[in-house]
Chain A
Amino acid sequence: DTAVSQTPKYLVTQMGNDKSIKCEQNLGHDTMYWYKQDSKKFLKIMFSYNNKELIINETVPNRFSPKSPDKAHLNLHINSLELGDSAVYFCASSQGMGSSSGNTIYFGEGSWLTVV
């Protein structure tokens, strides 16, 4: 079983549409994240949730809204998609606030979003 799984893996959609990416982890972790990788392969955190509570919300347009129905799930909903939203979105999880205590952050395989 994949530890951190996200769906869909590939998504092509038109500008202006609303789409969601789902993420689930079966590791029993209490912290989940969304990272964005741009066309230059640069990775940056978008959101972090700990026990379903938003901890980190970097400078991200409010068209992006994370939803955590429970500790094992963190979905990413994007409204009014723009061309610049095209990227790879990675979900991740860790036990506790991961890296600061040396705990490993585990990543999903990524969701390739293309906005046309």
Chain B
Amino acid sequence: AQSVTQLDSHVSVSEGTPVLLRCNYSSSYSPSLFWYVQHPNKGLQLLLKYTSAATLVKGINGFEAEFKKSETSFHLTKPSAHMSDAAEYFCVVSSYGGSQGNLIFGKGTKLSVKP
């Protein structure tokens, strides 16, 4: 079975400093992995995805994530935080077998950005 664990429920950074949101996954198959962002009272927006191509994936708004199979990790990073990055971030793994197409969400990491 597939699962995903976001190691921090809340991360707080100062504007202009780096962002690191941690995610570990478990999958019997070669997984597809995603990061989605949800701003307050808004829908889910795809930041980036990994689908067995390049292990370093670049997304929108300056975010990127690196797939590390040996560590079963897919951490999200950004060199310099902006106030508008404050939101909830979800690490997501795809499921296989009888639930193909099913996304399995992590519990989310709330990112706060201080001025």
Contacts and interface: CB of A to CB of B under 8 A. Distances in A.
Interface of A: 31, 33, 35, 40-45, 48, 50, 55-56, 90, 92, 94, 96-102, 104-110, 112
B43 A99 contact: no
A44 B49 CA distance: 19
Interface size class of B (residues with CB under 8 A): 20 to 34
B101 interface: yes
A99 B108 contact: no
Given A102-B49, A104-B34, A104-B49, 15 more contacts: A35-B103, A41-B107, A42-B108, A44-B105, A48-B101, A96-B101, A97-B101, A99-B92, A99-B103, A100-B32, A100-B96, A102-B52, A109-B43, A110-B42, A110-B44
Contacts, number: 75
A42 B107 contact: yes
A105 B102 CA distance: 10
Contacts of A106: 46
A49 to B, nearest CB: 10
A-B pairs, top 9 by smallest CB distance, nearest first, are A102-B51, A99-B94, A97-B101, A109-B43, A107-B44, A43-B105, A100-B100, A97-B100, A98-B101
